[in-house]
């Protein structure tokens, strides 16, 4: 069986998390991803948060599967020469350097187009054009600037960042979609184009419902928020605790064992069409017809009381028992799963969403496989490359350099060492 992006070659100039997320997905869809890394150093995440000495970190291995690695000092003339040749042989260049870094290296959009007019140049930056365009950005900066932090947490606490990497991995996903769209457009236009995704924009896109609520707020209080009807609403969308972001109210409720297990909770959604079922399960049949509870509007000012009452029931069950009973009644709910539980979940292993990979130096480790499943493009999740593992292979098989040229480039130090590039 073929792969969706077979024949597409990606020049992967990414590092840390946002860009590597994007190129890893493209690799899983079958693209040949060539990761360019600085000799001797590589992507900084190779050494960050290491759990084992002298072994590429999980941070790196979990974001760089199925890629090839070439080490290249792109600030040396010979390195620039190799990079130029790679640009001619690739379809897409993906980068997430600080603003201006690619230009400073001598590879402006105009120059890249001269080398290869079909080249798609895809970039992630923290911000789009505007007052912050020149700023360096990491995950949590994007969460704060994109509207997520101001709307996450409890009303009486500080803004909170979320564990989901919506700034990095979220923007990587956005960029991947842009790249695939540009590749498709190229089939008719014959030309490359620039694809840009700013992390602030990516986070805001994922916080779309909060900009919706900002505008609703101009017309009165947000009745599904926990601040209603007792608290005050200010000028901006407040933090909503565990309230559901949609039209069906929800909250996290304690389950049996909550006193000792921080994850003994279930997320419970009071979906209007199954209100009668909810009342039956928790033994409050009178609420089915009581005008104070019978309709979604009547319940809005009483949501706290409603959830407190439901919680008295959920606390008598463990989260999986509660999940089973509630689903038998068609009531939407979800157990709060710990990472330990997720790592051990058989169904996620069966679908390839959680995968065990064998790494030549690390041995076996778990990673998250491709969450997007294509019926005609099978994904085999492989290990990440060692630093420079494919340098030789790429020079010979992709760039078709002969023995003499390979030796010449090696001697220049552009691929690494030669006496630490003649002591710099």
As given in the structure block, the two tokens for residue 350 are 């069966």
- Contact between 46 and ligand CAO by CB under 6 A: the answer reads no
**Which tokens in the block code for residue 67?**
């890629």
Beta carbon nearer to ligand CAO, 198 or 326? 198
**SS3 (DSSP) at 377:** strand
Residue 169 binds ligand CAO (CB under 6 A): no
Q: Which is nearer to ligand CAO, 148 or 227 (CB)?
A: 148
- Judged by CB under 6 A, the number of residues near ligand CAO is 25
Q: How many CB atoms lie within 10 A of CB 75?
A: 12
237 and 210 Cβ atoms separated by less than 8 Å: yes
Contact flags string 53-92 toward ligand CAO, x per CB under 6 A = -------------------xxxx-----------------
334: β partners: 267
Residue 307, interface with ligand CAO (CB under 6 A)? no
Q: Determine the Cα–Cα distance for residues 22 and 20; give it in Å rounded to an integer.
A: 5
Residues 135-164 that bind ligand CAO (CB under 6 A): 136-139
Q: Is 392 a catalytic residue?
A: no
Site for ligand CAO in 87-106 (CB under 6 A): 96-98, 101, 104-105
CA–CA distance, 176 with 25 (Å, rounded to integer): 7
Burial annotation 78-108 (CB, 10 A radius, 16+ → b, else e): bbbbbbbbbbeebbbbbbbbebeebeebebe
d(CA 2, CA 58): 29
Find out whether 293 and 302 touch, Cβ atoms under 8 Å: yes
Residues 6+ apart with CB under 8 A from 135: 99, 126, 127, 141
Nearer to ligand CAO, 75 or 191 (CB): 75
Interhelix angle 199-206/168-189, nearest 10 degrees: 100
> By CB under 6 A, is residue 122 in contact with ligand CAO?
no
Considering only 3, 10, 18, 61, the residue that binds ligand CAO (CB under 6 A) is: 18
Contact pick of 9, 38, 50, 280 for ligand CAO (by CB under 6 A): 38
CA distance 300 to 302: 5
Contact call for residue 420 and ligand CAO (CB under 6 A): no
Does residue number 125 form part of the binding site for ligand CAO (CB under 6 A)?
yes
φ and ψ at residue 331, rounded to 5 degrees: -95, 120
- 168 scored as a contact of ligand CAO (CB under 6 A): yes
Q: Segment contacting ligand CAO (CB under 6 A): 121-129, 200-208, 266-274, 305-313?
A: 121-129
Q: Which of 32, 43, 91, 168 is catalytic?
A: 168
The catalytic residues are 168
Interface positions with ligand CAO (CB under 6 A)? 16-19, 36-38, 72-75, 96-98, 101, 104-105, 124-126, 136-139, 168
């Amino acid at each position: 069986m073929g792969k969706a992006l077979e024949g597409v070659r990606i020049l992967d100039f990414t590092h840390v998390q946002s860009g590597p997320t994007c190129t890893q997905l493209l690799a899983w869809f079958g693209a040949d991803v060539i990761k360019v890394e600085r000799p001797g150093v590589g992507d900084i995440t190779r050494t960050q948060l290491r759990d084992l000495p002298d072994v590429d970190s999980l941070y790196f291995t979990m974001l760089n599967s199925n890629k090839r690695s070439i080490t290249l000092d792109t600030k040396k003339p010979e390195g620039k020469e190799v990079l130029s040749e790679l640009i001619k042989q690739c379809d897409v260049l993906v980068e997430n350097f600080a603003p201006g870094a690619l230009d400073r290296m001598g590879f402006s959009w105009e120059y890249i187009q001269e080398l290869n007019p079909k080249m798609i140049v895809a970039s992630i930056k923290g911000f789009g054009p505007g007052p912050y365009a020149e700023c360096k950005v990491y995950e949590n900066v994007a969460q704060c600037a994109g509207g997520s932090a101001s709307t996450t947490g409890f009303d009486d606490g500080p803004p909170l960042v979320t564990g989901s990497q919506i700034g990095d991995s979220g923007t990587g996903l956005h960029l991947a979609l842009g790249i695939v769209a540009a590749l498709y457009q190229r089939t008719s236009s014959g030309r490359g184009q620039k694809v840009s995704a700013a992390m602030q924009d990516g986070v805001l896109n994922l916080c779309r419902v909060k900009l919706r609520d900002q505008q609703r707020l101009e017309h009165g209080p947000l009745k599904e928020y926990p601040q209603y009807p007792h608290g005050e609403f200010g000028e901006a969308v407040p933090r909503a605790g565990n309230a559901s972001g949609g039209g069906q109210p929800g909250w996290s409720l304690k389950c049996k064992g909550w006193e000792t297990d921080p994850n003994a909770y279930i997320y419970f959604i009071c979906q209007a069409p199954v209100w009668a079922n909810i009342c039956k399960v928790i033994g409050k049949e009178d609420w089915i017809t009581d005008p104070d509870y019978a309709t979604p509007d009547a319940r809005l000012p009483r949501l706290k009381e409603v959830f407190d009452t439901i919680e008295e029931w959920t606390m008598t069950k463990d989260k999986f028992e509660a999940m089973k009973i509630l689903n038998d009644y068609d009531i939407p709910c979800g157990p709060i799963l710990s990472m330990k539980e997720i790592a051990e979940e058989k169904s996620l292993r069966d679908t390839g969403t959680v995968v065990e990979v064998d790494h030549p130096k690390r041995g076996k480790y778990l990673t998250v496989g491709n969450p997007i499943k294509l019926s005609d493009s099978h994904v085999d999740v492989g290990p990440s490359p060692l630093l420079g593992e494919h340098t030789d292979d790429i020079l010979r098989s992709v760039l078709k350099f002969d023995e003499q040229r390979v030796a010449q480039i090696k001697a220049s130090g552009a691929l690494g060492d030669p006496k630490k590039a003649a002591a710099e």
